[in-house]
Structure 1
Amino acid sequence: MLLWGYKPTINMSKFIPQQYINAFSALGQQLNHPEGELRSLIQSEHLYNPWFTQQSVLDAVMAIGAMLSEENLAQWLSRYPEAGANPSKKVGLILAGNIPLVGFHDVLCVLISGHEALIKTSAQDTRLIKYVLQLLTEIEPDFAGKYQFVERLAGFEAVIATGSNNTSRYFEFYFGKVPHIIRKNRNSVALLTGNETTAQLHQLGNDIFEYFGLGCRNVSKMMVPEGYDFVPFFESIESYNEISNHHKYHNNYDYNKSIYLVNKDKHLDNGFLLVKEDTGLTSPLAVLHYETYTDLADAEQKLQAQTDNIQCVVTIANVNLNNQVVGFGQSQHPAVWDYADGVDTMRFLAAL
């Protein structure tokens, strides 16, 4: 089946970057224009996972489609001239399932670096990744022999596993003897100066609410200057109020609100988001933590102390941080060269 004018030319016994780029960019074009079975999958995924609404799945599919442009892929792969120099290895992948297709980037890295992927999906997200890889093999049939879905990892020579702080201890025990990347819980933070425009604060709403805040790149906490006025923030995000129509999100909102009221915990409430002062990075669903700072140097110091627990920082401020810094509305739209936890997956794979 020839799609989008792409002609299969890959010789899988030899690593030829441009041919890999052609195949994945053709996949990106399909994801950017979902039709037929893909469109049906986008519309029906909520029946299998209530958090995977049509809009959430479409957002994820389109974000990956944008990531897979030929220009982006060529620029990305040019950084790794050593990729494909070593014999192909079997790389076990344990994928998360908190947001749609969250494990796609790991699969992409393994395949485009010439390795074979042994994929253990999350029970929360099995259909999407399987169908996207089916599309890839329709574009380039030789990819069919480069990945397999498994119930239990075996015969792997390296592992990339994404989980929680609890599961990471088990991952370290089981996979510690082979080359590995093991990811734990992370959260993202917005650093506000008080000079943000209405448009920027509205875009921040996307960083907070996209995928219902379930992703590690979603903002779960704000750093704000002492005396910060929250009124402009609440006014700017009011248009996101339809999120409360989602029953599971609203149940979490109601539950956390009742806890705060019973415990007499001080908090702000706009009817669909609870904002509570708390130094913790991880906030409950439908809750946004905030912490104050005296000046940007103080904010930097507080953020640097949490470097290993932060995925990215959303801000317009000129700050020097070890974590990735992105603009408002961009936290859930990483480029193909933006790596989870700041660990260069391609460099890891090229060295196997």
Structure 2
Amino acid sequence: MTLDTKKNAFVKLGKFLCQFKEGNCIKDETVLGNDLFFEKFIDLIQLSQSHNGWYTPDQVFFSIQSWAEALTEENLDKWLSGYDLSKVAPKKVALILAGNIPLVGFHDFLSVLITGHDVLVKTSSNDQHLLPFLVNYLIAIESGFKNKITFVEGKMEGFDAVIATGSNNTARYFEYYFKEKPSIIRKNRNSVAVLNGNETKEELVALGEDIFRYFGLGCRNVSKLFVPKGYSFDSFFEAVFEYQDVIHYEKYANNYDYNKAVFLMSNFKLLDNGFLTIKEDSSYGSPISSVFYEYYDDLGTLESKLESENDQIQCLVSNNLVKNSIGFGTTQKPNLWDYADNVDTISFLSTI
């Protein structure tokens, strides 16, 4: 398969995904494979919550639309323009995927195939249905993928390299188990926001999207705020009140009640608006329904701290207050060239 053939197939997949928007799934008669896949995909989206309670239809639709927007010819060309893939020797690459948010491993899957390798996929038990469905669609529109994609349930064998995502504990196991293979091993990371009190309401509402999208389960979700001493959270709470309906979702509400109770029993001081608790804490990883915060004295010192601890940080959000930060409301819409953990997956796959 040529690179153009593979790119064209993923562009067609993007056009297929474009049809599926929450409350507005409109069948486009020009899209290939719709007779076989359109209605079935709607059914799968509606069933996703029965497979994983956190995969509510609105969250799944959001993920689908994010990929629909990413998989365009323009984006694929821009992403791959800086690489020479003509000399890549095809290998077999194993993927061990997470399942915290819908299609979280799709970028790795895309990267392996677009660079010309074969892929062995071990899905998470929390996300076993969406990616296989999209694979079936890809094979239906481009049969050349059929012998390049294998899903594995048991032990993974016969691979040349591995990309594995897990917790810090499982990462240690991965590093030992795959020590003889070229690998990318991803660990826990969290995203942070830096505020100075001059943010507009619109920016703080957008920050709420970074916090509450996927119920805060993703590594790109903001779980920590850095604020200047004397900062008032009134404007923040007013802005994020827009997301109050999250408390009506039982799994989120249970986490809110439990984590709030644990904090209170430990005599921690909390700020609470009825669906989100805010706690002063030096850690980066806050539990679901909670955000940690930490005061800073000056931005220069904070910037040095963030640079020294960047191995714990996935996204840095601010209104251009610190280097390498992105805008509010953008964490869950990464571009194809925004690599997880800042590890260039295409460069890795080009040299194995």
Q: State whether TM-score is above 0.5.
A: yes
Residue matched to 2:63: 60
Root-mean-square deviation (CA, aligned residues, Å) is 1.0
Residue matched to 2:333: 333
Contact 2:276 2:290 in 1 (8 A): yes
| Uncovered stretches (5+) of structure 2, i.e. residues with no partner | 21-37
Contact 1:191 1:317 in 2 (8 A): no
| Uncovered stretches (5+) of structure 1, i.e. residues with no partner | 1-11
Residue matched to 1:308: 311
Contact 1:17 1:77 in 2 (8 A): no
| Cα deviation, residue 86, structure 1 | 2.7
Match among 230, 233, 258 for residue 230 of structure 1:
233
Residues 186-335 of structure 1 correspond to what in structure 2 (within 5 A)? 186-321=189-324, 325-335=325-335
Report SS of the residue matched to 1:327: coil
Q: Kindly provide the CA deviation profile for residues 194-243 of structure 1, in whole angstroms up to 9, marking residues without a partner as x.
A: 11110000000010000000000000000111111100000001010110
Report SS of the residue matched to 1:18: helix
Residue matched to 2:24: none
| Cα deviation, residue 302, structure 1 | 2.2
Counterpart-to-counterpart distance in 2, 1:328 and 1:19: 36
Does 17-26 or 283-292 show the bigger shift?
Answer: 17-26
Q: Kindly provide the CA deviation profile for residues 44-92 of structure 1, in whole angstroms up to 9, marking residues without a partner as x.
A: 10011000000111111111111111100011111112x1413210000
Contact 2:223 2:292 in 1 (8 A): yes
Match among 3, 20, 34 for residue 6 of structure 2:
20
TM-score, normalised with respect to structure 2 = 0.93
| Cα deviation, residue 259, structure 1 | 1.6
Residues 57-206 of structure 1 correspond to what in structure 2 (within 5 A)? 57-81=60-84, 83-151=85-153, 152-206=155-209
Counterpart-to-counterpart distance in 1, 2:279 and 2:89: 52
Residues 338-349 of structure 1 correspond to what in structure 2 (within 5 A)? 338-349=338-349
Contact 2:320 2:326 in 1 (8 A): no
Contact 2:79 2:336 in 1 (8 A): yes
Counterpart-to-counterpart distance in 2, 1:226 and 1:136: 53
TM-score, normalised with respect to structure 1 = 0.93
Letter in 1 for 2:339: Y
Count of matched residue positions in the alignment of Structure 1 and Structure 2: 334
Letter in 1 for 2:174: F
Residue matched to 1:40: 43
Counterpart-to-counterpart distance in 1, 2:76 and 2:230: 45
Counterpart-to-counterpart distance in 2, 1:119 and 1:270: 42
Does 133-142 or 208-217 show the bigger shift?
Answer: 133-142
Q: Kindly provide the CA deviation profile for residues 79-119 of structure 1, in whole angstroms up to 9, marking residues without a partner as x.
A: 112x1413210000000000000000000000000000000
